[in-house]
Structure 1
Amino acid sequence: MFRPLPLFIGLRYSKAKHKNKFVSFISMASIFGIILGVAVLIVGLSAMNGFEKALRDQLLTVVPHAELEVVKGEFKDESAILSKIRAHKGVLGASPYIVMNALLQKDINMKALQMRAITPESETQVTAIEQYIKQGGWELLSANENSLILGEPVAKQLGIEVGQSVSLLLPQIGSTKLKAPRKFTFILTGTFRMGGQVDTTLGFIHINTAKKMLNLNHATGIAFKVEDVLQAQVLSREVAYSIPVYMYIKSWITSQGYLYQDIQMVKSLMYVILLLVVAVACFNIVSTLVMAVNEKRSDIAILKTMGMGKWSLRAIFIVQGAFNGLMGSLLGALLGMYLASNLSQFFSAVENILGRKFISGDIYFIDYLPSQINYDQVIIITLIAFVMSIVATIYPAWTASNIEPAKELGYSH
């Protein structure tokens, strides 16, 4: 099959054994460096993609995308406002709620947490926390009896089980005199476990129960779910401005956005740092080709005397370096995708061998190392590594094309 002469010679130089073993070692080191750099970059970015997906699919299923809370009082025209919010473009569902800061007491055990009074019938439009309820369900939250649902860690800390009673202490706010907190008795009707801080900071009761406790006729807040979670902040403002009530505007970005921002920051830093590692590996090709040029000076001189032009000579060494870069980039991409696709299993195996958990579900919202391969990123990383390897060949190729045959072959003018 016909191949251009520079391509034929360049590929032959790439596969041929060098007289100097050190040149061969540097050549292999440059390939392995590119393989390692590309693979680690793909694995690292896949882990960050996995965390980002887990944040969307898990944490944001239990945390409302956006919330509106009245600054003072309650929503007087609650039904009309709910209808208006649900009809807004980009909103998938809305549900009223009331939030109270309370203290739970069982014998000598006490726990402060936020009690969220919800409407069980419409809460499923906003969050999917019901799927994390281990015992009971929203249907057990009754307006007629004081029932509540707690996170498993809170129930364990208080020493109570489903069906047992617990005291809820509510401070009396608004009085200038110091008053004892009001005390209510609740029955634990269910527990949930999602993972992370939600389990230890949140409890649920029926919204009608909260209205009786606080002497309210309507909800003090409305939570809603949006179609595009990254536009939650913008959409929450649009919705709020369309309602003539003085409100606090909140979204998951203000409460949990630091997690997303941390993931994006780590991903950006990883991109820069590991691309520099790939760049260092690629520029080992410079060393390989400089030594190859010195080793092949007489061959280059002969080719020039036979009429080979400068660009053809340059192409030989560009092909040689590009071959190393292509091998390293493709093998690194394959290795990276294999490791990324099995990252969770490898991580679990390491945890089992060492006998300890590196990611605690009590602190983070997951207890495993997630991974999601983005094939667009894989293609971009592979192309960048390959382009870097070609750029690294320019100086040695130029040096080779400037060799003077008369000096190398001992001719005199």
Structure 2
Amino acid sequence: MPNPRKPEKETITICAYCGVGCGFKAETIGEEIVRMTPWKEGKANHGHSCVKGRFAYDYWRHPDRVRTPMIRKSIDDPWQEVGWDEAFAHAASELKRLQVTYGRSSVGGVSSSRCTNEEIFLTQKFVRAVLGNNNIDNCARICHSPTQFGLSATVGAGAASQHFDSVLQSDVIMVVGANPTEGHPVFGSMMKRRVRQGAKLIVIDPRRTESVDSPHCRADVHLALRPGTNVAILNSIAHVVVRENRHDPEFIKARCEWREFEVWAELVGSDDYSPDTIGPIAGVDPEDIRRAARIYSSGPRSTIYYGLGVTEHSQGSTGVMCLGNLALSCGMYGREGVGVNPLRGQGNVQGGSCLGSRPHDYSGYRFDTHAETPESFEPEW
């Protein structure tokens, strides 16, 4: 049935609901949105969408939405609507006043992971070049702080190693502490398509999610571990890889530190991480641990996707390091269909990290503790 109200204009935009970042056309009459249509050229969704992105757009006209700048002199005063020029002048004046009164480091900024790369870059540049400090942050260091630390420690950068389309080249998909069919529906649909095409699926999650068993997707192995045993299970999988010589020595010698691998292999290869030891602790069948390890290491293209079920733990950083080490030991980096990929909560958490919206490094993961890093930016800024 055609839309009875013919749109006057369409604007390319990005859905703000989850971390996939689907491209949409916002169709409008005047300033009113009348329809959201999936954009066929969208790099993340290729014209597909979930029900939320397609139909749940009425929040744009919610009465609580702030539509004009507002200022107040203290938290006890009511908000006053003002024009943009007055708002900008007030913000600049207050930033200057606070720095004069309390010092240069008394102010800072937080970039949004629903912003574009360009906006994120400008925000961190403003903090560093105008405010004169490194007090810049973004949400990647909150929910996915262990990703930043864990992947930086293992592979050198706290970033996903693949784009979403890469899953369509995977032979084995391991999902850890995530529920992509509900949390990232468009990616979840791509994952299920690949499983229907024959890819093996391993799910590590206490819950029996739709990814484990549904009419369109069924896991080959489901490790329904007890909460808090992430590291034990992942090291037990690595134990099987090491003990059965399922690792990739050529890849490790060419791309990793062999001595560091030997130290890691000695740790995970000990009897402490045997499936027969870990299985009862984690509440899973030891044979399922062995099956997961054998399927993942056999590949030939195995990929890992993980979510907050890994990162929001006291052992979150260690859990991410376990995933990175497992992938490196099996040579599952540097090709389509492999890698270790965090499933984010917003559409451009990746950009927040890559574009330098963090206090300790600039764009491209260049640490500010290295003297040459700020020096390389100063001439351009």
TM range (shorter): under 0.3
- Normalised by the size of structure 2, how large is the TM-score? 0.20
Structure with the larger RCO, 1 or 2 (CA within 8 Å, 6+ apart): 1
